């Protein structure tokens, strides 16, 4: 449905597989298949959680602009 889902993980490939198998998130379970459109490494879990929170505060338009500027 072209929604943008934001989350953190230490293993991107495994997490994408979990999402597509319907075992990762209730939100994505009804929106299969999912596709990774952007990934950004972080130094540690704390930094990742802060980045996730900041991304979730953005509008869809702002998220797309951010992704476009970092791709």
Angle among Cα 48, 31, 45 to the nearest 5 degrees reads: 10
The two three-digit tokens of residue 69, written as one number:
């500027």
Q: What is the pLDDT of residue 71?
A: 63
pTM of the model: 0.83
Tell me what pLDDT residue 1 has.
83
C-alpha separations of 57 from 30, 50, 51, 54, 63 in Å:
23, 11, 10, 5, 9
Separation CA 22–CA 30 (nearest Å)? 8
User: Long-range CB contacts (< 8 A, 24+ apart) of 57-62?
Assistant: 60/4
Q: What is the pLDDT of residues 9-63, one digit of tens each?
A: 999 999 999 999 999 889 999 999 999 999 999 999 999 999 999 999 999 999 9
């Amino acid at each position: 449905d072209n929604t943008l889902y934001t989350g953190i993980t230490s293993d991107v490939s495994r997490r994408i597989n979990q999402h597509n198998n319907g075992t990762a998130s209730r939100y994505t379970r009804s929106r299969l298949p999912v596709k990774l459109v952007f990934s950004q490494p972080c130094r540690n879990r704390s930094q990742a959680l802060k980045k996730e929170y900041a991304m979730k505060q953005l509008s869809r338009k702002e998220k797309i602009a951010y992704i476009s500027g970092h791709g």
